[in-house]
Amino acid sequence: MIYLEILMGSFVSVLILLIVLLFKNRGLKTEIKKLREILALKDSTIDNFEASRVAVKDVIESISSHDEVMALVEEGESRATISKKLGIPENKIELIIKFDKIKKEKQG
């Protein structure tokens, strides 16, 4: 009889422990989900910063070549010719010309 009472007490204790662990596990799953969302946001933010850094680098390089490019444009040189002369890709030549146009619009 005593063994049965001890066994029932142990069973109830184990059952209570299992229920507590189940609730804790559910809470941990929620926390893991939140942490994964934060990690994804962090990764996307880093990617955006890297893309911005590349864009800023391109603008800085374009500004340093701006005067040369615009002088050649005013002389009537084609974008392909300017690209070959200065060793700058044509898309950057376009960017410099657009930048110059925006700059002139703001000044005028």
Give tens-digit pLDDT for 46-83.
988 888 787 777 667 666 788 888 888 899 989 899 88
Domain boundaries, the chain: 2-107
For residue 29, pLDDT over 80 is answered with: yes
pTM: 0.44
Contacts of 90 (CB under 8 A, 6+ apart): 79, 80, 83
Report which of 33, 101, 19 is spatially closest to residue 66, judged by C-alpha positions.
101
